[in-house]
Structure 1
Amino acid sequence: MRLQNQVAIITGSANGIGYAAVERFAEEGAQVILADYDEVTGTEAAKQLKEKGYDVTFIHVNVADRESVQQLIGQTVKTYGGIDILVNNAGITRDAMLSKMDPADFQFVLDVNVNGVFNCTQIVLPHLIEKGKGKIINTSSISGVYGNVGQTNYAASKAAVIGMTKSWAKELGRKGINVNAVAPGFTRTSMVEKMPDKVIQQMTSIISLQRLALPKDIANAYLFLASSESDYVHGHVLHVDGGIMM
């Protein structure tokens, strides 16, 4: 059990990559907070995992709202006595070409994808510092590394996550806290499944491994960075993209 008795918060985990991560962490013995804005889906997801015998608790959160995040952290500490791992997985898209992008959509994506990561990390930080150790894992994207057509807001937000990760690594390493990021490539989530086959084929064609990632591929990367196996990995951006754009 690689995460036995570890308390982990995974945001944006009612479905997709986040859900796969909750299940993977729980399989390895973690007590997992399934934190999401979608109460209906989140409650059902936690119920399904509990029926499998996993220690999973759903907590509603809006990561862009500091009071909501404070309630998330407070409830977690009250229930489990502390926090060991934070996975900042929550994120949204509002894609459009630059010429057509609504400024409100630009700001909304930054509010969730950047401010949300800042809020969760800053508010959980005192609990990790008190323990003298901890793992913070931020979710970036290949869009934040290479940019992507029609994703000015999303690419900007995910590039910011990389900048925050590296800055926090410089600040927090001396406090025993590992900070890393994962940059997923195209992943076979429900959102991608709704795309036309032609688009999926185009996406697959630029990947060296010639397939899209499965959510568990990204979850396994989170697990590695959350476990003691990565104790000397710090300030790193782990690309899990099948060799895209090589």
Structure 2
Amino acid sequence: MSDKPVALVVGASRGLGRQIALSLASNNYAVVVAAKTASAPGTTTEDPDPNSPASTITTVTNEIRKAGGEATAIQVDVRFEESIKSLISQTISTYGRLDVLIYNSGAIHWAPVKNTPLAKFKLMQSINPTGLYTTVHFALPHMLASPTAQEPARQARIVVISPPIYSRFFRGKTPYAMGKVGMSVLTKGLAMDIQRDNAMRGRISITSLWPAVAIESAATQQFTKVNPEERNDLRKATIFGDAILAILKAGGDKVNGALLLDEDFLRAQGVTDFDQYSLVPGTAPRRIMPQQLPDLTVAEQDDEGKRYDSSAKSKL
């Protein structure tokens, strides 16, 4: 049993996931660094490019340990149920608890429907919404484990890397957006389940987070290699780590079901200096997300109508 809260970061080998793992470890979390890529024995590169394939769960775990933090590397392929089950099992057998789950794994192919092969579409759906659902499904029982006498008020937290829901997000990348928006639907829906379930309410919360400005990562490197000036419109990944920490410090009930943007949430917490996050000092990176997002609620929000639970085989 760990004395520290335990955070599982899925998709932590490089980019945003690596930074999230480092930020959590530097704030007294024991971190499970999980992803598909590990370094073969004897091949670990010291200080690899954090956005390159040389950055693995092995190198990230080594970074954390060298800085005095606590971390364990566990390989996972989120396309496969048994791999995810093994990840959760190993996490619990190693630390005896699971307090925070961050799901950052993702597959990207930005193209219209006619230019997206079925194989690419299936890959994105298996890693993005299905991988998330499977991970949450197997993690939930452990995250809802009975509080201890030492920590009677412990509240588990799930943070999903997925966007707010609005129509412009679909444009030009509908097959990708279908999965990412589906992840945000899970955030909204599970949050509603939590609110109406006495066994979950007050014991767990779920939040989605997305960048307001593009962040340096393995995904954005493909653009900066073609046009180095694209770096002027990027932020450092540290903004995302700081936003994750701010979410975890906020009351779970206040962020349960929220689809947040990193900059906007940090501003709401009193952060004013965003120049520190510019990848190129002195630049003002372009915002990629709308200033105002649609309210998804309706006037009849509290009218649940006739609810059915197929698992109970009876009308509720």
Taking structure 1 as the reference length, the TM-score comes to 0.87
**2:92 paired residue number:** 77
Q: CA deviation at 1:79?
A: 0.7
**2:217 paired residue number:** 189
Q: Which amino acid aligns with 1:71?
A: S
Distance change (3 Å), C-alpha of 1:120 and 1:166: same
Q: CA deviation at 1:139?
A: 0.8
RMSD (Å), alpha carbons? 2.3
Q: CA deviation at 1:213?
A: 3.0
Q: Which amino acid aligns with 2:17?
A: G
Counterparts of 1:19-168 in structure 2, within 5 Å, are 19-40=18-39, 41-131=56-146, 133-141=155-163, 146-168=168-190
Q: CA deviation at 1:14?
A: 0.7
d(CA) in 2 for partners of 1:190, 1:27: 23
Q: Which amino acid aligns with 1:32?
A: V
Match of 2:235 among 190, 213, 223: 213
Distance change (3 Å), C-alpha of 1:145 and 1:240: farther
- Structure 1: give runs of 5+ residues left out of the alignment: 205-210
* Higher-RCO chain (CA-CA 8 Å, sequence separation at least 6): 1
Contact 1:144 1:155 in 2 (8 A): no
Distance change (3 Å), C-alpha of 1:23 and 1:144: farther
Match of 1:180 among 201, 207, 212: 207
d(CA) in 2 for partners of 1:244, 1:85: 27
Distance change (3 Å), C-alpha of 1:144 and 1:111: farther
Q: CA deviation at 1:57?
A: 0.8
Q: CA deviation at 1:216?
A: 1.3
**1:244 paired residue number:** 289
Contact 1:144 1:156 in 2 (8 A): no
* Structure with max Cα Rg: 2
Distance change (3 Å), C-alpha of 1:50 and 1:64: same
Q: CA deviation at 1:47?
A: 1.4
Distance change (3 Å), C-alpha of 1:167 and 1:142: closer
Q: CA deviation at 1:45?
A: 1.8
Equivalent residue of 2:256, what SS?
Answer: coil
**1:8 paired residue number:** 7
Distance change (3 Å), C-alpha of 1:228 and 1:236: closer
Distance change (3 Å), C-alpha of 1:192 and 1:142: farther
Q: Which amino acid aligns with 2:111?
A: A
Q: Count residues in correspondence.
A: 235
Contact 2:157 2:252 in 1 (8 A): no
Contact 1:13 1:36 in 2 (8 A): yes
Distance change (3 Å), C-alpha of 1:188 and 1:73: same
Q: CA deviation at 1:227?
A: 2.9
- Structure 2: give runs of 5+ residues left out of the alignment: 40-55, 148-154, 264-286, 292-316
Equivalent residue of 1:130, what SS?
Answer: coil
Contact 2:165 2:184 in 1 (8 A): no
User: Identity over the aligned pairs, expressed in percent?
Assistant: 23
Q: CA deviation at 1:212?
A: 2.5
Is the helix fraction higher in 1 or 2? Answer: 1
